[in-house]
Amino acid sequence: MAELNGRPMHEQQTSNEPGEFPERDAARIAAREPVPPATADLIGVTDADLDSGEQAFKQQQHDEILRGLDVYAEAYSGKIAEINQINLRLGDNMLKQVAKVKDAITTMWLLGAGIDGKQRSDTAFVEKSERELEKLEHTT
């Protein structure tokens, strides 16, 4: 049998209804009721452990621990909010740069299209001029 902290662990019992124990225990914690031995056995805690634990672990200590965890969670919640703001700024900067690149590419395309159009019209003008000159040379 496996041991936890030098004590044998009890085999976990399974319930036919999933989530039965967590929901029941959450309701008891909210009502400040002690954890029953049946649930404690599931996590390897004996009745003797519960009796000595009740003496060492008072309601005030429990509440202080929960308040401490709330402070801890709030501190990291603020940090996560800051990270989210930084990421939004980063995303905005990226979108601005993408817009600039798209604008530059569009300008390049328009210039290229203008150059292509100018080349076609110049080529057409030169070819027309050459044909006209050939006509003049043949008629004289």
Q: Which domain holds residue 44?
A: 1-57
- Residue 129 has φ and ψ, to the nearest 5°, of -65, -45
What does DSSP assign to residue 32? T
* Mean of the per-residue pLDDT values of the chain: 77
pLDDT in tens, 50-109: 555 555 567 888 888 899 999 888 889 989 999 999 999 999 999 999 999 999 999 999
**Is residue 113 included in any domain, yes or no?**
no
**Is residue 126 included in any domain, yes or no?**
no
Query: Considering its fold, how many domains does the chain have in total?
Result: 1
Distance CA 33, CA 39 (A): 13
**Is residue 13 included in any domain, yes or no?**
yes
Q: Is residue 115 helix, strand or coil?
A: helix
Q: Is residue 4 helix, strand or coil?
A: strand
**Is residue 32 included in any domain, yes or no?**
yes
**Is residue 8 included in any domain, yes or no?**
yes
What is the separation of C-alpha 22 from the centre of its chain, rounded to a whole number of angstroms?
A: 27
3 against 98, higher pLDDT:
98
Torsion, CA 110, CA 111, CA 114, CA 119, rounded to 10: -140
- Global pTM? 0.42
